[in-house]
Structure 1
Amino acid sequence: MVKAPGVFILIAACLVALAESATVTGSIGINAILPDIKKLRPTTRVALNGGAYSALVTANGQFEIPDVDTGSYVLEVQAIDYVFPKLRLDVVKDQGITRAAYTGYGTSFESRGYSVEQPLELRAKAPATYFVERKGFNVLAMFKNPMFLMIGFSALMMFVLPKIMANMDPEALKEMSQSQADAQKMVSDMPSLSDMFSNARNQQLQSQQQRRR
């Protein structure tokens, strides 16, 4: 008779724990990306929060995660060959029921997408790719490169310009040579960047000295 209250307390605690936990059930559906469940590897599993709770997917595509405690979770299918949508899963306290909605990494956990009813049915949205195929040599892409265009134009002018100058009128050739000489003289007369910065620095020092006086 003395042990009865302890037994009742233990039973009541077990009932409360069961009431606050839930079982997540669902299946993997087929579509154009995954036309046959047998294409899934035996290691495919459904996990909550990366593995806090998890269960393997059976041969017929079913899964069941028992005794999930109250809280919010991210449900994902861990498959090597396929990418599945992620769900936000909420286990409601004292009721042992769950609510699920589409979500994803980088999305605010307060925002909820389309709701999903239990048993959950998840379908692959894309094949999993781990490598990017290396692009082959493309001749046309070379002509879109500005550096290649500059080199090509310079090489063309090296062959074309002497022929143009050979057929030019002597007076026009003389004028062009004079223009080039004038341009070179103008460039040589221009102060260099170092001289400009040096002059600006000297003027600044002179103005500071005048202020101190």
Structure 2
Amino acid sequence: MRASLPILASLASVTSAARFLLQIPITHVVNPSALSSTTHATLQSSGAPLDAYLTRSNTFNFNNVSAGSYLATVHCRDYAFEPLRIDVSIEEPVEGSGDKKEVIRAWQTFLGNEWDNKGESRGEGGNGLVIEARPVGQKQFYQERAGFSPLSFLKSPMILMALFSGLLMFGMPKLMENMDPEMKAEMEEMQKNGVLGSGTTNTAQQIQNFDLASWMAGKTDSGANSRAESPAPRRR
């Protein structure tokens, strides 16, 4: 019976559970005293999640936490908090002593990444460890209407096209004035001969005078002119 007492004590130490606190620090981002009463934190692992609500001391108290690896998440209506990885293990401070204690370690973690991808350490210790749950920022549910911005106005494609057209309109005469006299004479000669400008004008006029109904009926202006110019048959 006396020999069984150390064994029972060791079993009690092995099956004992850990306890720790998640504390929201006072920062310029959030005032913990102003958070809603529905703010709570959860510890999630392979089993059922553990839940704790925010106390007056701005902490979440977790008791009877068994050994394992947990994801700690703070659920708040107005603010977002960084997720934490919390590992609870039972270790011997001195090897061979037989005295086992709970060891709690906390790290920053990242959602969507591998579980072994740990960030900065958020604390390590025994029972009663206080771990900071740092806020990331305020949640935005509505997108604010953007005000007038001259830069975005100038980036509009229509405005850029109008500015380019105006630049050509007022800049081409200046270029023509500063052009070499011989080249300027050649340009004027080409304009007179219809090489520049007239071809585009004639094409535009042909498109405007195009008769779709006559074309579908097989009638053309040349055919009509040829029939009009053909001589009338002679009477016998």
TM-score normalised by the chain length of structure 1: 0.61
Equivalent-residue separation in structure 1 for 2:187 and 2:148 (angstroms)? 42
Aligned CA RMSD, in angstroms, stands at 4.1
- Equivalent position amino acid for 1:153 in 2: F
Cα pair distance change 1:161/1:23, threshold 3 Å:
same
Moved over 4 A (4+): 14-17, 93-96, 158-166, 168-174, 182-185
Equivalent-residue separation in structure 2 for 1:100 and 1:165 (angstroms)? 76
* Paired position in structure 1 for 2:55: 58
Do residues 86 (structure 1) and 83 (structure 2) align?
A: yes
* Paired position in structure 1 for 2:130: 119
Do residues 129 (structure 1) and 140 (structure 2) align?
A: yes
Do residues 71 (structure 1) and 72 (structure 2) align?
A: no
Do residues 46 (structure 1) and 46 (structure 2) align?
A: no
Equivalent-residue separation in structure 1 for 2:132 and 2:173 (angstroms)? 75
Cα pair distance change 1:175/1:86, threshold 3 Å:
same
Asked whether the equivalents of residues 22 and 67 of structure 1 are also in contact (C-alpha less than 8 Å), the reply is yes
Larger Rg: 2
* Paired position in structure 2 for 1:181: 195
Do residues 99 (structure 1) and 108 (structure 2) align?
A: no
Equivalent-residue separation in structure 2 for 1:127 and 1:155 (angstroms)? 47
Deviations 1:125-179 (A, max 9, x none): 422223332212223322234553223222453466579879x999755522528
- Equivalent position amino acid for 1:114 in 2: S
- Equivalent position amino acid for 1:116 in 2: G
Asked whether the equivalents of residues 23 and 68 of structure 1 are also in contact (C-alpha less than 8 Å), the reply is yes
Q: 2:30 aligns with which of 19, 24, 34?
A: 34
* Paired position in structure 1 for 2:162: 151
Equivalent-residue separation in structure 1 for 2:196 and 2:170 (angstroms)? 25
Percentage of identical aligned residues: 32
Q: How far does residue 42 in structure 1 lie from its aligned partner after superposition?
A: 0.3
Segments of 5+ residues of structure 2 without an aligned counterpart are: 1-7, 92-100, 200-236
Q: How far does residue 107 in structure 1 lie from its aligned partner after superposition?
A: 4.0
Equivalent-residue separation in structure 2 for 1:127 and 1:62 (angstroms)? 19
Equivalent-residue separation in structure 2 for 1:72 and 1:80 (angstroms)? 26
- Equivalent position amino acid for 1:26 in 2: L
Equivalent-residue separation in structure 2 for 1:83 and 1:30 (angstroms)? 14
Do residues 108 (structure 1) and 134 (structure 2) align?
A: no
- Equivalent position amino acid for 2:27 in 1: N
Q: How far does residue 184 in structure 1 lie from its aligned partner after superposition?
A: 10
Cα pair distance change 1:26/1:163, threshold 3 Å:
closer
Q: How far does residue 72 in structure 1 lie from its aligned partner after superposition?
A: 1.4
Asked whether the equivalents of residues 82 and 124 of structure 1 are also in contact (C-alpha less than 8 Å), the reply is yes
Asked whether the equivalents of residues 87 and 104 of structure 2 are also in contact (C-alpha less than 8 Å), the reply is yes
Segments of 5+ residues of structure 1 without an aligned counterpart are: 1-10, 186-213
Equivalent-residue separation in structure 1 for 2:23 and 2:175 (angstroms)? 78
Deviations 1:103-127 (A, max 9, x none): 2224432133224141223343422
TM-score normalised by the chain length of structure 2: 0.56
